[in-house]
């Protein structure tokens, strides 16, 4: 990948697996200076990347981690907030533990990380925050309703923060990718033999390719763009990177 990020200082949360791990790889390859967080999973070996252990649901840990990352890199240009969790949840069968787990991991953690990054960025002339929404929040999901609700909340938070922080040159967007992740693997495991039916549905519901995309090859170039100065005039948007699964605005 062409080195276009020119040593931009990027903090990636949830960098040990899934989209976060793909982001660490492509952003480093594109020339960024990257610090990444992990929780319990051992991180991949990516040359030049510093790793910090952090539970993004813990306000004190988040504040300390963002401060440490900014100190190490001499500032913070981008927060790419990839930490998150998918799990099944069928309406009528959802427990309070399901609700608490997903809202803490996907919503509370998003607000905490965003606010800590904003505090650093506003004092340093601005920056970019990238959150992750989901097609399931747009279309609804009978299989993972709480997850869909949390991602709807992330999109609403993104719009609110974007309006609140724009005057201080801190922009906030959310991406809705449809790529192969550990969450997609858990969905297939949950569906069991019915996973084959899901794959058949994807053939018609994703016009470009008929299947979930690759986190590096398909999502990676978009991550580089949204971490670059080229996207500076965008804020408050939910941007689908999904082969046409949800055609927002249509």
The answer as to whether 250 is a domain residue is: no
How many angstroms separate the CA atoms of 188 and 182, rounded? 10
The answer as to whether 243 is a domain residue is: no
CATH number of the domain encompassing residue 203: 3.40.50.720
pLDDT, tens digit, 9 for 90 and up, residues 130-187: 999 999 999 999 999 999 999 999 999 999 999 999 999 999 999 999 999 988 888 8
- So what's the pLDDT on residue 194? 87
The answer as to whether 216 is a domain residue is: yes
The tally of domains found in the chain comes to: 1
- So what's the pLDDT on residue 1? 46
The answer as to whether 217 is a domain residue is: yes
Q: Write b or e for each residue in 19-28: b if 16 or more Cβ atoms lie within 10 A of its Cβ, otherwise e.
A: bbbbbbbbbb
- So what's the pLDDT on residue 249? 78
- So what's the pLDDT on residue 250? 54
**Domain range for 82:** 9-237
- So what's the pLDDT on residue 165? 98
Task: Give every residue of the chain whose pLDDT is below 50, as ranges.
Answer: 1-2
Residues 6+ apart with CB under 8 A from 175: 130, 131, 132, 133, 219, 222, 223, 226, 238, 239, 240, 241
């Amino acid at each position: 990948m062409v080195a276009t990020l020119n040593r931009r200082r990027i903090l990636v949360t949830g960098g040990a697996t899934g989209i976060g791990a793909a982001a660490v790889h492509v952003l480093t390859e594109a020339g960024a200076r990257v610090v990444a967080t992990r929780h319990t999973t051992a991180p991949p070996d990516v040359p030049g990347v510093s790793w910090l252990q952090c539970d993004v649901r813990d306000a004190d840990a988040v504040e300390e981690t963002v401060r440490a990352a900014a100190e190490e890199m001499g500032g913070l240009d981008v927060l790419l907030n990839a930490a998150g969790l998918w799990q099944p949840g069928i309406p009528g069968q959802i427990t309070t533990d399901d609700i608490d787990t997903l809202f803490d991991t996907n919503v509370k953690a998003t607000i905490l990380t965003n606010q800590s990054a904003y505090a650093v960025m506003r004092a340093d002339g601005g920056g970019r925050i990238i959150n992750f929404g989901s097609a399931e929040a747009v279309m609804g999901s009978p299989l993972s309703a709480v997850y869909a609700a949390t991602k709807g909340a992330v999109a609403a938070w993104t719009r609110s923060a974007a309006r609140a922080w724009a005057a201080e040159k801190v922009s906030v967007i959310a991406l809705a990718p449809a790529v192969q992740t550990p969450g997609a693997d858990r969905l297939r495991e949950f569906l069991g033999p019915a996973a084959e039916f899901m794959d058949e549905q994807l053939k018609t519901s994703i016009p470009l390719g008929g299947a979930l995309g690759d986190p590096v090859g398909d999502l990676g170039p978009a991550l580089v763009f949204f971490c670059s100065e080229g996207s500076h005039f965008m804020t408050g948007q939910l941007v689908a990177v999904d082969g046409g699964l949800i055609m927002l605005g249509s």
